[in-house]
Each structure stands twice: as structure tokens, then as C-alpha cells.
Amino acid sequence: MNKEKSNYQILLLPGDGIGVEVLPQAVRIIRAATEFYDLDIEYSEALVGGCAIDEYGEPLPTATLELAKVADAVLLGAVGGPQWESLPMQQRPERGLLGLRSGLSLFANLRPAMTFPALARSSSLKLDLVSGLDLLIIRELTGGIYFGQPRGVKVNQGVREGINTYVYNEHEISRIARVAFDMARKRRGRLCSVDKANVLEVTQLWRDVVTETHAEYPDVELEHMYVDNAGMQLVRSPKQFDVIVTGNMFGDILSDVAAMLTGSLGMLPSASLDANNKGMYEPVHGSAPDIAGKNLANPLATILSAAMMFRYSLEQPAAADLIEQAVQATLDDGLRTADIYTPGTTKVNTLTMADNVLKNMSNIFQSGLR
């Protein structure tokens, strides 16, 4: 992407449930940032997930994918809900998400898990294990068992048989490994590659290729870990990790574990990037149908996803920093949505939380100018 560029196109995909409440709040934050930094952003909006099924009969309409392809970045709320759960697999809202990932070649999924000091006490782990936690899971997102062929359920001599295929080629492995080594280099210089090389040949290849790629990054410390051990280590002593890189399915599982460690699933952003840093940005949490429509949802994960968008796809790190600092300041002010509320703090709704992030953005920006 052209570094001089300051006009961008963003596709907004609110999706379902609380997605339609949190996404507009993130847009308010983006608009403020574009004013402060004199950026020019054009927005388009489209349907994905359950709302697209209701409107067009499919979770990822062609028009949505086409808009996503021409955008510089996509900001997504959440998809899914109980009313679509009985549909056949190919028509479920989640397919919309998977279709965007593969249709846009978003192979690198970045899932940071960090403990906000103000929230460390809400973790299910002891405070000293999680305070100051800052790890980054890099999950391969367009290959592995999620997409491998053959797949399906068939009847074999009168017996139903289900099959999925766990496949990676060496190019898929080396390109995600490079993303992970690059990230580790910018952080604390340590990478842990997670596999099941003691049982699965495909992950023996994974281990070999990651080791070969390491030759390009002698300054990064590389370690390999079996996935069962990694799950255990994540809950035993999570601060041993800096960057973790793994395949699609292991990454799905480990990133939920890591998210829970922070005590604040409602706080975690994610980025899914292609080879040119075009990206889709979304909160790690789901559509939370139980609280949808009540102005109760925590908008901070989506707001922090917008910060990641400024950092990775728009190359506007100052805007990203400003948003992150404003979120931090808002938490330090004691404001909490219901999901992160603890006695002694101030419970606020979705809108008020975003109002306060905006106020803090403005304060921090002004004080930087003085």
C-alpha cells in the first residue's frame, strides 16, 4: 500500500446481534481519528451472516464479497444467532465469515491477548499469573482442516462416515511463519510454534518448514510445542509466551483459551490480513443474542479492532496509538460495561462507553499538541 495515501475505503459489515450496536460506535471513533489526522475515509456497508440469509438467502452475497474486495479494509461486528442454527452447514451465518476469509485470502489471523490492568482481577486465573500478560496468537486462517478436501459426510456400506482433511503445503506454512517471525521481531523476539508433530505428518511438515524459515530470522528465538502441552502451559504459566504461531484449528482453540485468560473476552480485537496487509478487523466475541438490542454490549473490542485497522491496513500508527490510549484512559476512569463490571466501578451502557472513549481521545490528542 502507498505510504503517502491518506484516502481509504472501508467496508462496514455490522452483521448480527450486538454487531449492529458495537460497529456504529467504532465508526464514531474512526471518524474522530480521521479528523484529528486529516485522513479521508469513504464508507460502504453491506450484509453478512444471518441478516444476509434473511435478505438474500445466503450468508455471503456476491455483492458483499465484491465490495470487500475493493475496500482497503473491512470492519465486521459479529455474525450468528439462534434463529439460524438449524440451517444446513453451508447456509449458516459462520459460512459468511469463512467465505470472506478465503475469498479475500486473509491467511494471517492476529489475535492479541492482553490483560488490561484495570481488569486483571476478572480473570479466572490468579492475578499474578495474568497481570501484565501480553501475548499474540497468529493463526493460519485459510488452510488446514477448515478448508481441506475431501470433506463431507457420506454413507459407506450402510454406515455414515464423516471426513475432513488436514492439509498444508510448504508455501502456506512458510508464509504464515514469516508473518509470525516478523511480529516476534517487533515484540519480545520469541516465537512458539504449536503443532502435533508426534502424531500428525502434516504438522511434522509444519515443524520442519517453520524451522527452515527460522534461518531467515536468527535474531528470533524459536521453540516448538505440542498443542496439548501448549493448552496446558497457557493456563499454567501464560506469561512465558510472546508470539504463538499455529494452524487454523489449533489456533481457533488456543485463541479462545488465551482470550479467557485476560478476563475480558469483550475487550479483545483481531485482525485477518492478506499478503498486502489488506485486512478484516473484528472483535473476538460473538453476536451475544442474549443481550442484543439492549445497549448493554461492550464496544471496546470493536473499537480496538478499529485501532488495529489503522495500524496494519491504513498504516496510521498514531491514530492506532491514540485509540488504544483512549480506551486505556476510559478504563482507568473506572467506566465498565456490564460484562466487565466489578463493585466500585461505574456501570455504563454501550453508548456512554463510546462517548467517553471519544472524550478521552480528544483530551489526549489536545494534550499532545500542547
**What's the closest the beta carbon of residue 91 comes to ligand IPM, in angstroms?**
14
**What's the closest the beta carbon of residue 252 comes to ligand IPM, in angstroms?**
4
Choosing among ligand IPM, Mg ion, none, which partner's interface includes residue 324 (Cβ < 5 to 8 Å by kind)? none
**Active-site position among 228, 290, 294, 332:** 228
**What's the closest the beta carbon of residue 259 comes to ligand IPM, in angstroms?**
9
DSSP assignment of 163-194 equals: EEE----HHHHHHHHHHHHHHHHHTTSEEEEE
Stretch that binds Mg ion, among 183-191, 252-260, 339-347, 355-363 (CB under 5 A): 252-260
Choosing among ligand IPM, Mg ion, none, which partner's interface includes residue 257 (Cβ < 5 to 8 Å by kind)? none
Enumerate residues 89-128 that contact ligand IPM by CB under 6 A. Answer: 94, 97-98
**Active-site position among 134, 182, 208, 256:** 256
Using alpha carbons, select from 264, 299, 262 the residue that is nearest to residue 282: 299
29, 252, 268, 340: which one binds ligand IPM (CB under 6 A):
252
Q: At 107, phi and psi to the nearest 5? A: -85, -15
**What's the closest the beta carbon of residue 351 comes to ligand IPM, in angstroms?**
26
Choosing among ligand IPM, Mg ion, none, which partner's interface includes residue 94 (Cβ < 5 to 8 Å by kind)? ligand IPM
Are 1 and 277 in contact by the 8 Å Cβ rule? The answer is yes
239 carries an active-site annotation: no
Does position 252 interact with Mg ion (CB under 5 A)? The reply is yes
- In this structure, the number of other CB atoms found within 10 A of the CB of residue 187 comes to 16
Stretch that binds Mg ion, among 63-71, 109-117, 203-211, 250-258 (CB under 5 A): 250-258
Residue 206 parent element (H or E): helix 201-214
Are 74 and 30 in contact by the 8 Å Cβ rule? The answer is no
196 carries an active-site annotation: yes
User: How many angstroms separate the CA atoms of 138 and 180, rounded?
Assistant: 6
By beta carbon distance, the residue nearest Mg ion is 252
Nearer to ligand IPM, 137 or 202 (CB): 137
Nearer to ligand IPM, 92 or 336 (CB): 92
- Kind of pairing, strands 148-156 and 159-165? antiparallel
**What's the closest the beta carbon of residue 252 comes to Mg ion, in angstroms?**
4
252 carries an active-site annotation: yes
146 carries an active-site annotation: yes
Choosing among ligand IPM, Mg ion, none, which partner's interface includes residue 72 (Cβ < 5 to 8 Å by kind)? none
Supply the Cα-derived Rg of the chain in whole angstroms. Answer: 20
Nearer to ligand IPM, 179 or 319 (CB): 179
Q: Long-range pairs for 317-322 at CB < 8 Å and ≥24 separation?
A: 318/37, 319/33, 319/34, 319/36, 319/37, 319/39, 322/33, 322/36, 322/361, 322/364, 322/365
**What's the closest the beta carbon of residue 251 comes to Mg ion, in angstroms?**
8
* CB within 8 Å of 146: residues ≥ 6 apart: 98, 248, 249
Q: Assign residue 112 a region: left if phi > 0, alpha if psi is -120 to 50, beta otherwise?
A: beta
**What's the closest the beta carbon of residue 38 comes to ligand IPM, in angstroms?**
34
Strands (E) located in 208-361: 221-226, 243-246, 269-273, 279-283, 335-336, 346-347
Number of residues forming the site for ligand IPM (CB under 6 A): 4
- In this structure, the number of other CB atoms found within 10 A of the CB of residue 231 comes to 16
Nearer to Mg ion, 94 or 355 (CB): 94
Using alpha carbons, select from 101, 107, 112, 137 the residue that is nearest to residue 245: 137
Nearer to ligand IPM, 98 or 351 (CB): 98
Using alpha carbons, select from 13, 140, 3, 141 the residue that is nearest to residue 71: 13
**Active-site position among 72, 196, 217, 312:** 196
134 carries an active-site annotation: no
Nearer to ligand IPM, 83 or 363 (CB): 83
Number of residues forming the site for Mg ion (CB under 5 A): 1
* CB within 8 Å of 285: residues ≥ 6 apart: 18, 78, 265, 266, 268, 298, 301
Catalytic amino acids? 146, 196, 228, 252, 256
Binding site for ligand IPM (CB under 6 A): 94, 97-98, 252
Which residues are at the interface with Mg ion (CB under 5 A)? Answer: 252
